[in-house]
């Protein structure tokens, strides 16, 4: 991003290659109790490209959210380094946007004001802010809800507003912690399609936590699996389905989809997996 022109909303097309944006080096996290430390994350090494769409799977309690908190800068690791754009990442900043499981919109602000918040914090001028807010309202299809308060919106609309709010500050990476898990099935499918479309438009680095294997297969270009006690990476896989992605519904009919699905499920369940069926995965 160093070379790119001032903030037009979707400017990361400047990259021809995919440089590493985020780098985790030997990350450890432990909570110290009276007599011993409980390890949460053990020696996590990870590199995320500037236009990666990474889905992280894992059983609950494996440290997925702790890892996200470290990436976001909400939590300092016990040991190890987080580099963003080759610079140490020491605390939360607008470089790394976060979309939470709960929308976390500011309840006293209208949807437009919520989206404007990050721009205001950045010191963007008022006329420019207005323009960007209406751009992002359009992007997520909430133009008509601009002046409503969050509680007046449905769950899916709130989550869309939250995504727009995060996108508006033009972060280099977006972290998402099970953002669609609280939505009903139909809304979730719409949101997934929406997110894919957004990613294809903006090509931002997305780090997406989910416990839903199908969701990971539908969305992720790369899929990671973590195991618990202590949390560690056990699978790091380029999703072969992402290259010939037509529509989410069609994907579900592919044989590979089901093979991958059962592979990932057993990987999450901590079973030995070296099914010959999966030879083509390499």
Partner 1 sequence: MGPRSTYKKHVLARGVSFISVAFILMIWTVSTHFKWVDPVFLPSPQSVWQTFLELLREGYKGISLSSHILDSLYRLFIALILALFTAVPLGIFCGISKYVLAFFDPIIEFYRPLPPLAYYALLVLWLGIDDRSKVALLFLSAFAPLFLATVASVQRVPQDRINAARSLGATKPKVLLYIILPSCLPDIITGLRTAIGVTYATLVAAEMVAATSGIGWMVLDASKYLRSDIVFVGIILMGGIAILMDSLIRLYQHLQFSWVGKQDS
Which residues of the chain form contacts with partner 1 (CB under 8 A)?
Answer: 72-74, 91-94, 96-98, 100, 102, 104, 106-108, 117-118, 121-122, 149-151, 155, 165-166, 169, 171
Residue closer to partner 1 (CB basis): 99 or 264? 99
Least Å from the CB of residue 11 to partner 1: 17
Least Å from the CB of residue 73 to partner 1: 7
Least Å from the CB of residue 158 to partner 1: 8
Least Å from the CB of residue 16 to partner 1: 28
Residue closer to partner 1 (CB basis): 65 or 202? 65
Residue closer to partner 1 (CB basis): 170 or 215? 170
Residue closer to partner 1 (CB basis): 96 or 133? 96
CA 156 to chain centre: 17
The answer to whether residues 109 and 55 touch, using CB atoms and an 8 Å cutoff, is: no
Least Å from the CB of residue 157 to partner 1: 12
Residue closer to partner 1 (CB basis): 61 or 107? 107
């Amino acid at each position: 991003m160093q070379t790119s022109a001032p903030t037009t909303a979707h400017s990361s097309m400047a990259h021809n290659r995919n440089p590493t944006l985020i780098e985790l080096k030997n990350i450890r996290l432990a909570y110290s109790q009276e007599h011993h430390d409980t390890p949460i994350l053990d020696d996590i090494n990870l590199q995320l490209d500037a236009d990666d769409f990474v889905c992280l799977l894992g059983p609950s309690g494996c440290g997925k959210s702790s890892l996200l908190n470290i990436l976001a800068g909400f939590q300092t690791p016990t040991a190890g380094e987080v580099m963003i754009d080759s610079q140490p990442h020491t605390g939360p900043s607008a470089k790394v946007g976060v979309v939470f499981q709960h929308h976390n919109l500011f309840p006293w602000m209208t949807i437009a004001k919520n989206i404007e918040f990050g721009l205001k914090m950045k010191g963007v001028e008022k006329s420019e802010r207005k323009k960007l807010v209406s751009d992002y309202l359009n992007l997520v299809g909430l133009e008509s809800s601009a002046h409503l308060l969050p509680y007046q919106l449905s769950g899916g609309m709130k989550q869309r507003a939250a995504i727009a709010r995060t996108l508006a500050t033009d972060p280099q990476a977006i972290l998402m912690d099970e953002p669609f898990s609280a939505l009903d099935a139909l809304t979730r499918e719409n949101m997934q399609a929406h997110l894919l479309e957004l990613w294809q438009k903006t090509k931002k680095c997305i780090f997406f936590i989910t416990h839903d294997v199908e969701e990971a297969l539908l969305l992720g270009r790369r899929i990671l699996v973590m195991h618990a006690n202590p949390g560690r990476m056990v699978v790091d896989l380029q999703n072969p389905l992402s290259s010939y992605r037509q529509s989410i519904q069609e994907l579900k009919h592919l044989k590979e989809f089901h093979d991958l699905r059962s592979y990932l499920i057993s990987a999450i369940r901590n079973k030995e997996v070296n099914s010959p069926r999966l030879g083509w995965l390499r």
